[in-house]
Amino acid sequence: MTGLGPVSPIALGREDYWKALHEGRNGIGPITTFELGDCPVTFGAEIKDFDPTRWMPGKEAKRSDRAIQFAVAAAKMAVEDARLDTTAIDPYRLGVYIGTGQGGIETSFNNFKTMMEKGSRRVSPYFIPMMISNMSTAYVAIVLGAKGPNLCVVTACATSLHSMGEAYHTIVRDDADVIIAGGTEAALRAISIAGFASMKALSTRMDSPETASRPFDKDRDGFVMGEGAGVVVLEELSHALARGAHIYGEFVGYGTSCDAGHITAPDPEAKGAAFATRHAMEMAGWKPEQVDYINAHGTSTGLNDKMESHMINDVFGEHAKDVVVTSTKSMIGHCLGAAGGLEVIASLQAIEENFIHPTLNYTTPDPECGELNISTGSGINRKVDRLLVNSFGFGGHNGVLAFQRYI
């Protein structure tokens, strides 16, 4: 990994994002960027004052869904952070794998409303290219001149990790030298809030939104929606070394599976998640006791947190009490398809800085989650050589990535 590009509710860009994580900054509060109507939940982790024209021409920004805008901004940040001259690369060896869970949902909603109120002839000619999920990865490819492998993964909340995992395999089989990979999501809009609220999946802590995202805490009552993009530069090692790139971490393992049990609920026995975790570690050549840190999916929902805790205790046994666990979602909410990308960036910075950021609002341990070693307070100063990042999505999609310090 040679470049990191976060667009998050707490900061834009690698350095500011890491500073915000280190400080334990909370990005959750009342929603201000759109009309909520009669939505039963009125808070989330939104990106305020986002100006897409910093990364793309104003004319193009008007023709692009917010999810596309986030993807372009994150990709450009990652490339700049990597000090990568994309014009110096064979364009057919440069790929883009940026997935999304819900695609251009704001564009879909607005055009549907226009058609119902004003008729079909008033639907925008840009509706389809603004709405379809693959347009984020296509647009980034256009901007960067990337003519190599191009893929849009859609696996709900596991999207970013699957995008990176598939990008890894593409590079390993020598189909590309560099792939810009991750996820983007701009679904923090009234229609999505209404849908998740109807499922009883969202926190309703209206009196205290800043404490609503509380992963693994006994008093959690649901997740908090967020938005953003997390994009990284995956680069073949010899290619990175040849240009003197800074290496944040080495991608060494990828585990994936499907629970094949329920459209939304995870397997309570965590068999699929455990399989993906063990596979990632086997691919990396690690034993459980060698893992220093797990950036958990940690959604702050009753079912996910219990399942994930069960998996960690099952896979790691006695070491489960020693491996440090955090949930970045306690600060940035659940950014759905972009969540894993932002969490990978946070994790790679942990290797870089030898610091594990805190999990906010963890005050009352849930006995049903076992004895996890949750990073709280002001975080933990600790050398991080090996870590895992978890993502588990609706539909039973599981993804686990393994990273280690490059020496």
Contacts of 349-353 with C-beta under 8 Å, sequence gap 24+, read: 349/4, 349/14, 349/17, 349/18, 349/21, 349/248, 350/293, 350/295, 350/384, 350/387, 351/248, 351/249, 351/384, 351/385, 351/387, 351/403, 351/404, 351/405, 352/248, 352/249, 353/18, 353/22
Place of tokens 């996910």: 304
- Determine the residue type at 209: P
CA distance 392 to 3: 24
Taking residue 387's Cβ as centre, other Cβ atoms within 10 Å add up to 24
Task: Provide the token pair at 70.
Answer: 């986030």
CA distance 81 to 212: 33
CA distance 253 to 388: 9
319: annotated active-site residue: no
**Catalytic pick from 297, 310, 357, 397?**
297
297: annotated active-site residue: yes
Q: With contact defined as beta carbons under 8 Å apart, do 217 and 259 qualify?
A: no
258: annotated active-site residue: no
Q: State residue 59 phi and psi, 5-degree precision.
A: -60, -40
CA distance 363 to 378: 13
Task: Provide the token pair at 204.
Answer: 């309703």
Displacement of CA 267 from its chain's centroid (Å) = 21
**Catalytic pick from 279, 310, 334, 357?**
334
Contacts with 227 (C-beta within 8 Å, 6 or more apart), sequence order: 9, 44, 45, 46, 47, 66, 70, 185, 186, 187, 188, 335, 338
Contacts with 263 (C-beta within 8 Å, 6 or more apart), sequence order: 394, 395
Task: Provide the token pair at 162.
Answer: 């699957």
Q: State residue 242 phi and psi, 5-degree precision.
A: -65, -30
**Catalytic pick from 152, 157, 335, 369?**
157
Taking residue 37's Cβ as centre, other Cβ atoms within 10 Å add up to 9
Catalytic site residues?
157, 297, 334
